[in-house]
Chains A and B, each alone.
Chain A
Amino acid sequence: MSSVTILLFWPFIGAVAAFILGKANKKMAFWAAEIVGIALFAASLMLWINYTVPISIDYTWFTFGETALPFGIYIDGLSIVMLLIATGLGLLDIHFAHDYMGEDNDQARYYAKVLFFIGGMILLVIAKDMIGMFVGWEFMGLASYLLISFWHTKSAPANAGMQAFLYTRFGDVFIFAAIGLLLYFVGTLDLVEINTMAKEGSIDHSVALVIALFIFVGAIGKSGQFPLYPWLMNAMEGPTTVSALIHGATMVNSGIYIVARLFDFYASTEALLVVANVAALSAFIGATSALVQREIKKVLAYSTMSHLSLAFVGLGVGSLAAGMTHLMNHAVFKALLFLAAGAVIFAAHHTKDLWRFGGLGKKLTLIAAVMAIGGLSLSGIPPFSGFFSKDAVLASAMVNPDTQGLVSVLATIAGLLSIAYIGRVWLLLFTGKPRDEALYESVKKPSFLWITLPLVIMALITLGLGLYQSEAAEFITGEPYVQPHVDGLLIGLFIGLGLLALIVFGLYYKGLKLTEKISNHPFLKIFHQLLFNGYYVEYMITWFSKNIIVASVAKAATWIDLHIIDAIVNGSVGLTQALFKRLKVTQTGLIGDYAGMMVAGLAALTILMILMEGA
């Protein structure tokens, strides 16, 4: 069986198997998922090892009229990297869930959805055409909806799932429209061909711009860019393993992937600049908001937003290599951070509030260590992988004359702030004195095999990846990689990072009391609230949909339907009633009246007749 077949079909077969087996025996679901996970990863590895030229399979899904909708497979370096991320991290995530989800009664459902999720991502990255891509894209939308609201008996996860689906769906309809427009204006849905045509300049410029922007709106939704990011934070209501899957391995990467996949197409228009600007703004919003969150996972969620945006900035400023390597690195360290956070949360009986932890370093030393590695990589400290790619992104931004200004500034701020928020999390978790003694006492060391081992593996990858950045970049882009260089950038970055590290250390290790005072200061509290609520974008969107769409437009439509359209229909009854009443008067029941009417009628008709015939 070829690797492609395995990748394409096994996740879905596995999902069904996991569900059915899991219904028979809880544990069987896990094993089914684990085996499928291993198979998928092995298949991806095989593809990587045997990779020489891109695999391209053409297939027509269906033909209607004279239009054929294709469903081809295309696997190149970019796809393989995405596959390795999705299946590799997916496998570790499944493995981790053995304990993390071990107490849940609904494991059959859990693993089935996870496999479906991974299957969607695989489909997305190996599809040759917009159609296949969109199918995978939407499968993930469905899977994320189901997984985020996995604990659906509570309101918050159910709401979060709904929000995730609707926010991403908003973007999806633009991609959906883009498919129609592509087919009409460009004549093909083949992603590779679109790139080629764009390079040749055979696509009308303004058409290309509109389509590229439409697709980017979809990417904004899926990859949590401004203004569609709030779902990303609320998605933290799902199990932490799901968060790791969404934020590390799969879903949020898809938006970046699609822009990367259509990179030449984007590069042929000004859409790339739009990408860079939106992404830089998002990076800034994410980084600043991450500074003040109370929950571990929310910090990580904002940091995901910020770092994805950096990857987007990389693409936006014209460097596919920088963007994609950052995406790759981020996937690994973010999955690591999430799972490490998950390990802490699991050990602390599903406590997520940072202010209740403290001093856990003594108990969870190994986890603290791997989280430190992830954190350092995220902050961009050499020799961890994050350093190289972040540096490349910022340098590329500064090199590009179009993005030297605002984009570079925002991206740099976002890049620097990462050490602040991740350092804050780490310090609050593992150092100082326990702030909740009872909780501290109850924390137990997690199992090595099921919890710590995957973390260690990821930590090692994070370390190792740092060595192979340019190889990875070349593999992805298929072109020789030139590290962009800006004089003084490194020094500047280090100074900034060092300063921030000191401030954070001071605030959260030495002066927690002072920190509390600062954050309670009435004037600063405004800023705190602004950041804490993610710049109130969610409030605005919610307000708009509640008050404008539901309470105004939909309500008005209902009113019109009821009081005008249906009222006219039902009013016809009233009309006949009125007519009935008027006509009934003629039926007096008195024969004298009747005879009078007959004679009068005769006279009138005869006169009419005389007039007509006489004329």
Chain B
Amino acid sequence: MFYLTLIFGPLFLAVVVYALFRNFEGVVKYIALALFAKMLAASIELYNALPAEGYLKLGSFLHVEAFNYVLTLQVDMLSVVMLILSSLLLILVTLSSWTMKNQAAYFSLLIMFSGAIFGVFMSTNLIWFFIFWELTLVPMFFLVGIWGAEQRVYAAVKFFLYTHVASMLILLAFYLLYAQTGFLDVTLIKEAAIATPALVWWLLFLGFAVKLPIFPFHTWLPDAHVQAPAPISVLLAGVLLKMGAYGMIRFVIELMPESSREYAIYMLILGLITAFFAGFLAIYQTHIKKMVAYSSISHMGLVMIAIATVSYEGLSAALYEMIGHAFIISPLFLIAGYLHHKTGSWQMGDMGGIVQRAPYVSAIFVLAGMAALGLPGTMGFIGEITILISAIKVNGAWIAVIALASLISAGYLIWTFRRVIYGEMSPVVASADFKMHKIEFSALVLFAGLIVLFGLYPQPIFDAANQAFAHFGGVQ
């Protein structure tokens, strides 16, 4: 029951908090912070309570026998890792939003989002999974649409519609699975181990590919990420995209390993195109946040490549890269947003010499950038090398071309540093005020710390991955 309140509690709390504290805005962020801390604690508790293999049942609610429509809450290592990641990011996002305007509504929406996201990762019933999956869109829609930049309306509506269309494919696939097996619970469907038709596989793949996002379904992302306020970009990149990867692993790979192996080549090719295409887009960008957004897509392409191996090691690498991507891209988004906020410009050409005005923020920007291009000692390196190794193992030597992706990353990131961080101070930078709230800065420091910590000591994540995928059905 406690875990049910973890999902519905925030949904309810969001309304209550907004109603009660609309006129005492300052309080809301503390409530949000306390809630997210509690959620993190609960996730860690789950982590400790997990059995060595398989699922930990947390209960099932709202039975409707006729439709197998049961809110079954159960978690395995994969979902617990996602829970911990999400709650951690929510805390960091709260810290980064410390000086956000219109806080009561903002944090109420964040609270609402937290409930939905916990629902996504905790429910194994397809329909309930889908319910929470869609529910995450609502707070995001408002967060982008209200707090976003100039083109926020276009971005919010595009994001909402595009991902919603993709969700429809997922729902149809779920329907077909149910029609075929008579089960709605993913664990039961897995046990039934039916031969799934190609249609279901493609529907699910395409549905999750949009969220991931994968070329050519990526165009919603730059708009949404760029127009969203920086902390929300973090949430989009850190949690929402991870939902796509999670769905891809849980419903495409775990449920249909045979079909996945059969179509792995398509996943692989799309992943490769994504990694390179987005990399080239990032090279051509002069808009700093768009550059980061394309970089984010490019890295998700790598995640796709790792998933496409349909192997134990590849999935471990994918999980690691998912977490790494969340921690690496987040500070880049936050700093890009901060620079825009301070200089009033998105164009890298208007910036230059930022390091002279904001040395520590610049240092974190460079660190995160270095992580994004795969520098050892950071999470980026471990992610890339494990993906490389696992991909070569499955696909053969030619896949080593993905090493070039990190060269492309180096290209656009180093060039960005040159244009933004280093060089002579531009007049815009000289006249801007680069003060940053201490708490928002502390969030950046935490991100930097996480990047280095897990970059040097990745074993905990791989231990979790080993536990998550060691008994994954059908995966070699």
Which residues of A are in contact with B by a Cβ distance under 8 Å? 61-67, 69, 131, 134-135, 138-139, 141-142, 145, 149, 152-155, 158-159, 161-162, 165-166, 169-170, 173-174, 176-177, 179-181, 183-185, 210, 545, 549-550, 553-555, 557-558, 561, 565-566, 569
Q: Are B406 and A176 in contact (CB under 8 A)?
A: yes
A557-B219 contact, Cβ under 8 Å, with A62-B462, A139-B377, A179-B385: no
A565-B219 contact, Cβ under 8 Å, with A64-B316, A555-B284, A557-B280: yes
Kindly state whether residue B389 has any CB partner on chain A within 8 Å. yes
Q: Are A165 and B313 in contact (CB under 8 A)?
A: no
Task: Provide the residues of chain A in CB contact with B373, threshold 8 Å.
Answer: 169
Inter-chain pairs besides A141-B375, A550-B284, 8 sampled, C-beta below 8 Å: A64-B317, A64-B466, A69-B385, A138-B375, A138-B377, A142-B370, A152-B423, A153-B425
Task: Provide the residues of chain A in CB contact with B466, threshold 8 Å.
Answer: 63-65
Cα distance, A66 to B417, chains bound together (Å): 38
* CB nearest neighbor in B for A189: B389
Q: Are A66 and B400 in contact (CB under 8 A)?
A: no
* CB nearest neighbor in A for B401: A177
Cα distance, A159 to B377, chains bound together (Å): 25
Kindly state whether residue B473 has any CB partner on chain A within 8 Å. no
Q: Are B418 and A158 in contact (CB under 8 A)?
A: yes
Cα distance, A146 to B388, chains bound together (Å): 27
Kindly state whether residue B34 has any CB partner on chain A within 8 Å. no
Kindly state whether residue B311 has any CB partner on chain A within 8 Å. yes
Most chain A beta-carbon contacts within 10 A, residue among B407, B422, B469: B422
A-contact bits for B389-403, CB 8 A (1 contact / 0 none): 111110001001101
Tell me the minimal C-beta distance from A70 to chain B in angstroms: 12
Task: Provide the residues of chain A in CB contact with B421, threshold 8 Å.
Answer: 152
Task: Provide the residues of chain B in CB contact with A177, threshold 8 Å.
Answer: 388, 400-401, 403
Kindly state whether residue B67 has any CB partner on chain A within 8 Å. no
A131, A139, A149, A550: which contacts B283 (Cβ < 8 A)? A550
Task: Provide the residues of chain A in CB contact with B414, threshold 8 Å.
Answer: 145, 162, 165-166, 169
Q: Can you list 16 pairs linking A and B with CB atoms under 8 Å apart?
A: A62-B459, A67-B313, A67-B386, A67-B390, A161-B422, A162-B417, A162-B422, A165-B414, A173-B403, A173-B407, A176-B384, A176-B388, A180-B385, A184-B392, A554-B280, A558-B285
A65-B397 contact, Cβ under 8 Å, with A155-B423, A549-B411: no
Q: Are A180 and B280 in contact (CB under 8 A)?
A: no
Q: Are B216 and A565 in contact (CB under 8 A)?
A: yes
Kindly state whether residue B458 has any CB partner on chain A within 8 Å. yes
Task: Provide the residues of chain B in CB contact with A142, threshold 8 Å.
Answer: 370, 375
Task: Provide the residues of chain B in CB contact with A155, threshold 8 Å.
Answer: 423-424
The 6 closest A-B pairs by CB, nearest first: A65-B313, A554-B284, A557-B280, A158-B422, A177-B403, A135-B376
Which secondary structure dominates chain A's binding surface?
Answer: helix
Kindly state whether residue B160 has any CB partner on chain A within 8 Å. no
Most chain A beta-carbon contacts within 10 A, residue among B162, B215, B423, B469: B423
Kindly state whether residue B356 has any CB partner on chain A within 8 Å. yes
Q: Are A63 and B459 in contact (CB under 8 A)?
A: yes
Q: Are B281 and A561 in contact (CB under 8 A)?
A: yes
Which B403-444 residues have C-beta < 8 A from chain A?
A: 403-404, 406-407, 410-411, 414-415, 417-418, 421-425
Q: Are A153 and B459 in contact (CB under 8 A)?
A: no
* CB nearest neighbor in A for B397: A181
Cα distance, A162 to B412, chains bound together (Å): 11
Tell me the minimal C-beta distance from A108 to chain B in angstroms: 11
Task: Provide the residues of chain A in CB contact with B410, threshold 8 Å.
Answer: 165-166, 169
Most chain A beta-carbon contacts within 10 A, residue among B277, B317, B421: B277
